[in-house]
Amino acid sequence: MNPFTYSRASDQQTAINGVAAHEHAKYLGGGTNLIDLMKMGVEHPEQLVDINRLDLTKVEQLPGNGGVRIGALVRNSDLAEHNLIKTNYPVLSEALLSGASPQLRNLATTGGNLLQRTRCYYFYDPAFPMCNKRDPGSGCGALEGYNRIHAILGQSDKCIAVHPSDMCVAMAALEAVVRVQGPNGERTIRLADFHRLPGETPQVETNLQPNELITAVDLPALPFAKRSHYLKVRDRASYAFALVSVAAILEMDGGRIKSARVALGGVAHKPWRAHKAEQALGGKEPNDASFRAAAEAELANAHGYKYNSFKIELTKRAITQALRTVAGMG
């Protein structure tokens, strides 16, 4: 681990100024991902600005529209067990509880979860020389290497890594909005626009501007989100990242699906909103045939590699099962 200096901010502007004053500075919240990356030699911040004393730890109902604002420093464990979340957005509670271990959830923050970096083997270990995300222009070792956990949607020939967060998949289905503050003031970013696909620049993972601080995440009022579920498929029952995950929400009108929201994890460089599946479900009866047709539509352009082609069928089955659960079909 390289040497670094440390400071503790007492308010948001002090934190922003502290990071802006150093070219290679990072905000420090829970540190559950950043410290690992520093130990591995992947991240090399010269300055850490501790933001844990900032007043960003509340979960509160928004006036007027009935949505919810989640402070950036709300711990994953607290958010998962919060009454507003468990009652109105069960898919988010389930996603959080499926992630990491209880010890890590007690430290990990909402803002930090948004900024999780991939667990691609080639990125995480500098002993592997080829990683465009870690060293732009060096190549992608996963393309011809061991790519079992890698992307099947939205990838490029520069990077086939996947985004690791469970929380973000649920928030994508819920159409969350990220609130940030920086040297130029405050702004909002739709979660759909927050993370980026790899394209030609896989090292640029989000649309945050330099020095911007995540302050909160807003969830819109969605009464039908009470009918939702998060399904995670992984190699072991706990403390494992998703091979495939599905956040599913159904709005029913009589015996038919009025609208659907589906997001996928473990399949792309960002939480993948399954718009084709959603369109295919509109107006349909909730049954296995319509669920499978929606999954087929979403995965029509999926592309697998030597070790991960199984994920295409696995994703189709996961979508079908998640929708069955939401529809009360078991």
Determine, yes or no, domain membership for 243.
Answer: yes
Query: What is the pLDDT at residue 165?
Result: 98
Among 146, 144, 109, 141, smallest CA distance to 126 is for 141
Average pLDDT of the chain to the nearest whole number: 97
**Statement: residue 1 has pLDDT above 80:** no
Query: What is the pLDDT at residue 66?
Result: 85
If you write DSSP's letter for every residue of 199-263 in order, what string do you get? TT-TT--B-PPTT-EEEEEEE---GGGGSEEEEEE-SSSSS---SEEEEEEEEEETTEEEEEEEE
Query: What is the pLDDT at residue 201?
Result: 98
Determine, yes or no, domain membership for 287.
Answer: yes
Find the mean pLDDT for residues 34-47.
Answer: 96
- How many angstroms from the chain centroid is the CA of residue 2? 28
pLDDT digits (tens, 9 = 90+) for 291-326: 999 999 999 999 999 999 999 999 999 999 999 999
Neighbours of 32 (CB within 10 A): 19
Find the mean pLDDT for residues 190-205.
Answer: 98
CATH number at residue 16: 3.30.43.10
Confidence category of residue 197, pLDDT binned at 50, 70, 90: very high
Determine, yes or no, domain membership for 118.
Answer: no
Q: What CA–CA distance (Å, rounded) separates 75 from 29?
A: 10
Q: What is the DSSP letter of 156?
A: B
Q: What CA–CA distance (Å, rounded) separates 30 from 75?
A: 8
CB-CB contact of 124 with 142 (8 Å): no
Determine, yes or no, domain membership for 43.
Answer: yes
Q: What CA–CA distance (Å, rounded) separates 106 from 322?
A: 27
CATH number at residue 313: 3.30.390.50
Domain count, the chain: 2
Query: What is the pLDDT at residue 308?
Result: 98
Determine, yes or no, domain membership for 40.
Answer: yes
Domain of 265? 227-326
**Statement: residue 65 has pLDDT above 90:** no
pLDDT digits (tens, 9 = 90+) for 249-295: 999 999 999 999 999 999 999 999 999 999 999 999 999 999 999 99
Q: What CA–CA distance (Å, rounded) separates 82 from 93?
A: 8
**Statement: residue 224 has pLDDT above 90:** yes
What's the token pair of residue 268? 């792309």
Query: What is the pLDDT at residue 253?
Result: 96
End-to-end, the C-alpha distance of the chain in Å comes to 49
Q: What CA–CA distance (Å, rounded) separates 126 from 2?
A: 14
Tell which of 17, 32, 52 closes a domain.
52
Q: What is the DSSP letter of 108?
A: -
Determine, yes or no, domain membership for 281.
Answer: yes
Tell which of 12, 31, 52 closes a domain.
52
CB-CB contact of 274 with 262 (8 Å): yes
Determine, yes or no, domain membership for 58.
Answer: no
CB-CB contact of 213 with 51 (8 Å): yes
**Statement: residue 112 has pLDDT above 90:** yes
Query: What is the pLDDT at residue 75?
Result: 98
What's the token pair of residue 73? 């420093």
Query: What is the pLDDT at residue 56?
Result: 98
Determine, yes or no, domain membership for 76.
Answer: no
Tell which of 52, 69, 89 closes a domain.
52
